[in-house]
Amino acid sequence: MKEINKVVLAYSGGLDTSVIAKWLAETYDCEVVTFTADLGQGEEVEPARAKAEALGIKEIYIEDLREEFVRDFVFPMFRANTVYEGEYLLGTSIARPLISKRLIEIANETGADAISHGATGKGNDQVRFELGAYALKPGVHVIAPWREWDLNSREKLMAYCAEHDIQIEKKKGKSPYSMDANLLHISYEGDILEDPWAEAEDDMWRWSVSPENAPDKPLYIDLTYKKGDIVAIDGQEMTPAEVLTHLNKVGGDNGIGRLDIVENRYVGMKSRGCYETPGGTIMLKGHRAIESITLDREVAHLKDELMPRYAKLIYNGYWWSPEREMLQKMIDESQECVNGVVRLKLYKGNVVVVGRKSEDSLFDENIATFEDDAGAYDQADAEGFIKLNALRLRIAANKGRKLG
């Protein structure tokens, strides 16, 4: 076992990471530094300080990273209209590179020679945390207790707590699901969701009403974009975190953003999960709408071709990679003229685009009109265009090659 003097632990204050904090100190005979991030998960993070102190932790980091999370991670991802496997808006995936970044920065600040996390050996998060850590500090040592210890059940964890006098808060009505939340989404896994045929219980959802119970009157909102990012809602300027917080509220109130999928994990297995991403669902719809009038056709199509690759990089943990940064520069360059306002109608789980306008619009009414275009477009030109594009098809047919 490698000699470790100090380790920085990504610490939530829950059962798993509380056990990990004690286990690290005992197993590696080292100092433990805890790092707790507020990414907008909707729960107070400050209580983690008292829990860490009770474990004998001397160096405790608790940080509000909501603005950095949305500004530097969520917004850049949404400039690409990023969706994994056609549905998933990557709410868990996009939070991991920021946590890895701060783990390494804190390790550097405190002189730690290792970092640790509570991700299991079955999931994607172990890959995301560690790929990011190695990219930012190649020589760092990573300790993943779930891959080392034999405390592989809740009963064993509870027994460890009793043996080592670790106080665990017992919450009434605790959810049976494994959950992860931040400002972009909340996820649910486990329990009945492990059967892909079983419908999720309606009382599982926490951020949204069901579409059936959403208001009977639609809500209209205007999103103002500057270089691909939302800077104001209904004319009121907002910070990135304020934008997403507001959209989560109005989206959830109108039954928007529920998702039930079976996804392909990077480690090879399929996993069923349910997600609530009300604000992100609205953002994706709005961004595609403003791009529809401001982006050149071939640029828009190229972005759509690159997006699945970009989404896979984020899902698999390669945010801190040269290929992701290269794609990001191309995406950001495409957003220079993505400015304007989109009007959306929110109604019973639906996000409907009802208007879009921009001073950088490429939409030309004089050319697109079904009425008299006053010579702006010569329809006779289309004949030659079609014949030239059909040339290879006509040659093949004349040579006897048959299609269909």
Q: Which of 125, 180, 356, 358 is catalytic?
A: 125
In order, the DSSP letters of 266-321 are TTS-EEEEEEE-HHHHHHHHHHHHHHHHHS-HHHHHHHHHHHHHHHHHHHHT-SSS
8 A C-beta contact, residue 350 and residue 256: yes
157, with CB counted inside 10 A (0-12, 13-18, 19+), is buried
Q: Euclidean distance between the first and final Cα of the chain, in Å?
A: 65
Would residue 373 show up in a list of annotated catalytic residues for this protein? no
Q: Which of 71, 113, 178, 361 is catalytic?
A: 178
Q: Angle between the 297-316 and 278-294 helix axes, to the nearest 10 degrees?
A: 150
Would residue 16 show up in a list of annotated catalytic residues for this protein? yes
d(CA 39, CA 314): 18
d(CA 205, CA 402): 54
Q: In what order do the strands lie in the sheet with 178-181?
A: 178-181, 186-189, 270-276, 258-264
d(CA 211, CA 218): 12
* Residues across the chain: 404
d(CA 118, CA 147): 10
**Pairing between strand 141-143 and 31-38?**
unpaired
Task: Evaluate the CA torsion angle 98, 103, 104, 110 in order and state its sign.
Answer: positive
Q: Which of 66, 79, 96, 272 is catalytic?
A: 96
Would residue 175 show up in a list of annotated catalytic residues for this protein? no
Residues with active-site annotation: 16, 96, 125, 178
